[in-house]
Structure 1
Amino acid sequence: MLNEATTTNVGGIRTSCLDRKQLALLVGEICQNYTPDQSAFLIFSSNGQAISLAGSDPAYLELMNNVDLVHADGQSVVTLSRWFSERPIAERSATTDMIHDIPVHYTPTLKHFFLGGLKDVVEQAAKIYSDTYANAEIVGIRDGYFSAADELNILEEINQSGADVLWVGLGKPKEQEFCIRHKDRLKVPVVISCGGCYNFLTGHYKRAPEWVQNNGLEWVHRMVLNPRKLFWRYLITNPHTIYLAYKNRYRGDRDTESKKVLFLLKTFSKGGGVERVSANLATSLKAQGYDPEFYVFFSKEEDISQLRQDWPVTLVEPGRKSPLKLIGEFLRFRRHVKNNHIGVVISSKETANLISLIALMFLPRVMKLFTRHCAFDVSDQKLAPRSIKALYCMYALTRSRIVTVSEDLAHQIKAFLPYNRNKVVARANPIIDERIFTLAEESAPIQGDYLCAVGRLCEQKGFDLLLDAYKQALTIQPALPKLVIVGEGDDRAALEKQAADLGLTDKVIFYGFTPNPYAIIKHAKLFVMSSRHEGLPTALVEAIALGVPVVSSDCETGPRELLDNGRYGGLAPNQNPTALAQAIVDNLTTPIAPEAEAVSKYRYADAADAYIKLFGERMA
């Protein structure tokens, strides 16, 4: 059933085309197949008010487009989909109908928790609902009048109730914000935002006669009953909603059905983090029925030999090229995208982003995702931060998305963009799959206890800082385990010399590149990350997933967000070897146990789903 959840763009919000029965059965199917390690499946509603609010508030638009499913609560959404969208929605699926459709169409018993509304209203609604439907068991109720300080206790009450479906009626946008904020904490299969649904159950709000509903005029009925509240809302939001639907109309110019995804890279270096993440995302999209391929500029054939074994690769050989030849390569790339009906181009690093921007100009049918994997003040990049920020201002003018690997990085970009901030979204990298756990079970190639660090040997990764910190840590605790550094890079010779100068030749092992770093990480006493800057540290995610205690520099974007301010691992001030040394000693003495919850969104399937939600969007 979930594969049938086709969506269409109505007013900028991706809205489900499922009919009422399909939606009810989908809820039942999700509850039936739910396992405790899964995040809650969020279902929000869209109507004229929601579309207008999303058009006025970029944060609300992002919230609506990051949810698992949005259904057409208002008849206006159905009508506008017929006028302006690529796929019409068959029928309205009002929340006030859905709450009845679920027990009618899905006969096994489901447990429900009602949250929101006035205390006497929600109590009465719960009683009426359980008395009406024998297969609807109410396991908890809570009114909607609580403070932020009460939320953790409410979450505990919901999780302890064993509910299958949580109904949240706090009003827009409060109920959506509550659901998104606690999605990973809620141990409930399905969460549905329901507005004033309880008042309709109790009869405090009256539904329009059926003939009025069938003709899409229930909003008029509601306005007549409550003109003071609703007349001005409809007078303002209805024209705005129609304008937004027209603005985001389907123009027949994007190949939304294309399953072809092209990854565009400037180069492909063995062991590179961005390259590894791109390959991971290709694998996870392939599992969802997509057809990935790679287009690599300026790399040698030997660099992509492994990549070519797994994926179709188009290679532009390196070498100095005249401006005329570069233009020719850009045109060749454009023809490739056009002639092969590529639906989505995901570019990584600024050269690739710029190639995508220029070469694919005036190809609006192609969804372009410009990705950013690291902070802006990066020492080894050729462009100055000011120039890179100017590029992102240009990306924001296109009908595409800017995708970052962490929320912190997304906030940084939004802070300097003067417009279209809603085009910036954070998406988790696909890092965790069963393969890393299988490989981690192989015998560790290093004997005895050791600390572990993994990454490309370059200035960004801060291994010079790590060697200084390790030397200082040995003065605090002479019996410290040896240090194993896994990875290759241009700085290897300099780092080996530094280790020798510090008298660490017998204590530090430069292991080099290995296709299986996971067995080394898994058996380490402690994983240490010393980066000067990151976007999202992949190896840190892998170490937490493998259950290894971690210590990280508190560099800009990534580690603090990932470790939840130190909840899941040690943090040391950035570029401070003395503080990092102390953190290493402290976390060896009293390690912070990592939790799988910290990295659940980095699973292949979850990360792929998050990207797929972007593929069908058309940005204005």
Structure 2
Amino acid sequence: MTAVTPRPLRVLTFLHSFEPGGVERVALRLHRAWLAQGVDARLVLGRTDGAMRREWPGLDADVLNSHGLPTAAWETLWMMLRLPGRIRHHRPDVLFCAGNSYTVVAVVMRLVLGKRCPPILAKISNDLTRADLPAVARPFYRLWLRIQGRLLHRVVGMAQPMRAELETLMGVAPDRVAIIDDPALDEAQIAHLEALPRPPHDRAAGRRFLAIGRLAAQKNFPLLLRAFARIARDGDRLTILGEGGARKGLEALARSLGLGVGVGGRVALPGHVNPVSDALLAADALVMSSDYEGVPAVVPEALAAGLPVVSTDCSVSMADLLGHGRFGLLVPVRDEAALAGAMDRITALPFDSTAARAQARRFTVEIAAQSYVVEMQRLVHG
């Protein structure tokens, strides 16, 4: 009797586009790792636009054909309308929801497809407390979290401190929660950053602060610009890598603060840059000014580059990520004076780059991809 070889696990990941974002970059990194591990990984894209497209040459994706109709302005609704048909076509064993911005699509799939919906494993990519929301919106947000907790089959937190949030705020039973450190980078990246020499830089001639992220409200770059303006000395520079709709407002704010933008100014906004290794190695500190985050991938990248971090306390996981003060400074969210003070002190504090790189190695795709497969197998086979 001939033995039947079991079919590889089939996983479908859905993303809007190649527009730069930490959630999308991590999802694509996991997708590539799953393919290398023999998983039948399928990728559905709403459109092929975005600056990250050149980072993934030869990527095989099922693109939702819009026949020339622009879908960027209503991409979530577009995905809701078209994804059910692609799920029926691909017949995945598991539907992978890459982050909070995609959970609404996952919930709609569960409602539309009913019993035909494959089990959903959702990575929770942002802080759930969302203290930045207006008081009137918070009850509705809490209700939305409970709906997700009821309809998503299993949720993954990106660091151990997130477990309590997932169980309490989403109402998810402990056996439906998994913790997998965010795959922010891979071993090759860490080795590359470790091997590259740090360019010589005389801090007496000016400090180099670096921020990385979408130019969007969540990142609160206006706070960063105002904090930098408070402490900027002659020669100090702030570079913000990223692109988004807030660009014009940030440029105007920088000029109004007397910082200047571009050549001759103290602030640089060069847009989306990849890889960011040169920028990390040229900086004296990474700064995060976000109102809320999950486990931002740029922090392990900075630690792998031997760079200290100043951050708002924008996530329940941030203190753990920064080694409870070993690798950087935390300040209250939206506290301009505290952020400025921490930026002013960070370059004078002792920093153990070897220990920082060891911390970064927790967050590699080599570890995470296999852990996700294990969780998916459990979800499928019980």
TM-score range, shorter chain: 0.7 to 0.9
Cα 1:458–1:419 change in 2 (3 A) is closer
Partner of 1:578, secondary structure, is: helix
Match of 1:612 in 2: 373
Cα 1:501–1:535 change in 2 (3 A) is same
Contact 1:268–1:303 under 8 Å retained in 2: no
TM-score, with length taken from structure 1: 0.51
Instruction: For 1:581 and 1:609, locate their aligned partners in 2 and report how far apart those are by CA, in whole Å.
Output: 41
Which of 227, 230, 239 lines up with 1:469 in the alignment? 227
Instruction: For 2:270 and 2:279, locate their aligned partners in 1 and report how far apart those are by CA, in whole Å.
Output: 10
Which of 86, 89, 98 lines up with 1:336 in the alignment? 86
Partner of 2:41, secondary structure, is: strand
For residue 400 of structure 1, report the CA deviation from its aligned partner: 2.0
Instruction: For 1:404 and 1:498, locate their aligned partners in 2 and report how far apart those are by CA, in whole Å.
Output: 36
Instruction: For 1:471 and 1:311, locate their aligned partners in 2 and report how far apart those are by CA, in whole Å.
Output: 46
Does residue 412 in structure 1 map to residue 165 in structure 2? yes
Letter in 1 for 2:14: L
Letter in 1 for 2:87: V
Where relative contact order (Cα < 8 A, 6+ residues apart) is larger, the structure is 2
Partner of 1:503, secondary structure, is: coil
For residue 353 of structure 1, report the CA deviation from its aligned partner: 2.3
Which of 280, 283, 298 lines up with 2:29 in the alignment? 280
Match of 1:456 in 2: 214
Q: Which of structures 1 and 2 has the bigger CA Rg?
A: 1
Deviations 1:405-428 (A, max 9, x none): 233333213113456343122222
Q: Spell out the pairing of 1:66-145 with structure 2 (5 A cutoff).
A: none
Match of 1:353 in 2: 106
Letter in 2 for 1:570: L
Which of 90, 106, 127 lines up with 1:375 in the alignment? 127
Instruction: For 2:20 and 2:44, locate their aligned partners in 1 and report how far apart those are by CA, in whole Å.
Output: 18
Cα 1:384–1:436 change in 2 (3 A) is farther
Letter in 2 for 1:601: R
For residue 312 of structure 1, report the CA deviation from its aligned partner: 1.8
Contact 1:379–1:460 under 8 Å retained in 2: no
Instruction: For 1:296 and 1:386, locate their aligned partners in 2 and report how far apart those are by CA, in whole Å.
Output: 33
Cα 1:295–1:412 change in 2 (3 A) is same
Match of 1:315 in 2: 64
Does residue 523 in structure 1 map to residue 282 in structure 2? yes
Which of 306, 330, 335 lines up with 1:571 in the alignment? 330
Instruction: For 1:513 and 1:493, locate their aligned partners in 2 and report how far apart those are by CA, in whole Å.
Output: 15
Cα 1:418–1:611 change in 2 (3 A) is closer
Match of 1:486 in 2: 241
Match of 1:498 in 2: 253
For residue 603 of structure 1, report the CA deviation from its aligned partner: 1.0
Instruction: For 2:320 and 2:93, locate their aligned partners in 1 and report how far apart those are by CA, in whole Å.
Output: 32
Letter in 1 for 2:22: G
Match of 2:175 in 1: 422
Q: Spell out the pairing of 1:157-556 with structure 2 (5 A cutoff).
A: 257-265=7-15, 267-297=16-46, 299=47, 301=49, 305-306=53-54, 309-315=58-64, 317=66, 333-347=83-97, 348=99, 349=101, 350-363=103-116, 366-376=118-128, 377=130, 384-398=137-151, 400-418=153-171, 420-437=173-190, 440=193, 450-474=208-232, 478-479=233-234, 481-505=236-260, 506-556=265-315
Instruction: For 1:465 and 1:360, locate their aligned partners in 2 and report how far apart those are by CA, in whole Å.
Output: 43
For residue 280 of structure 1, report the CA deviation from its aligned partner: 1.2
Deviations 1:503-542 (A, max 9, x none): 1112111121112112111221111111111011111110
Percent sequence identity over aligned pairs: 25
Deviations 1:460-495 (A, max 9, x none): 112111111111112xxx246311111111111111
Letter in 2 for 1:456: R
Instruction: For 1:402 and 1:460, locate their aligned partners in 2 and report how far apart those are by CA, in whole Å.
Output: 23
Deviations 1:98-152 (A, max 9, x none): xxxxxxxxxxxxxxxxxxxxxxxxxxxxxxxxxxxxxxxxxxxxxxxxxxxxxxx
For residue 392 of structure 1, report the CA deviation from its aligned partner: 4.0
Partner of 1:277, secondary structure, is: helix
Q: Aligned-pair RMSD on alpha carbons?
A: 3.3
Letter in 1 for 2:220: G
Cα 1:378–1:582 change in 2 (3 A) is closer
Gaps of 5+ in 1: 1-255, 321-325
Letter in 2 for 1:372: I
Cα 1:339–1:509 change in 2 (3 A) is closer
Instruction: For 2:159 and 2:25, locate their aligned partners in 1 and report how far apart those are by CA, in whole Å.
Output: 17
For residue 590 of structure 1, report the CA deviation from its aligned partner: 1.8
Match of 1:60 in 2: none
Cα 1:571–1:480 change in 2 (3 A) is farther
Partner of 1:565, secondary structure, is: helix
Cα 1:287–1:446 change in 2 (3 A) is farther
Cα 1:330–1:468 change in 2 (3 A) is closer
Contact 1:439–1:519 under 8 Å retained in 2: no
Cα 1:400–1:566 change in 2 (3 A) is same
Q: How many positions carry a matched residue from both structures? A: 353
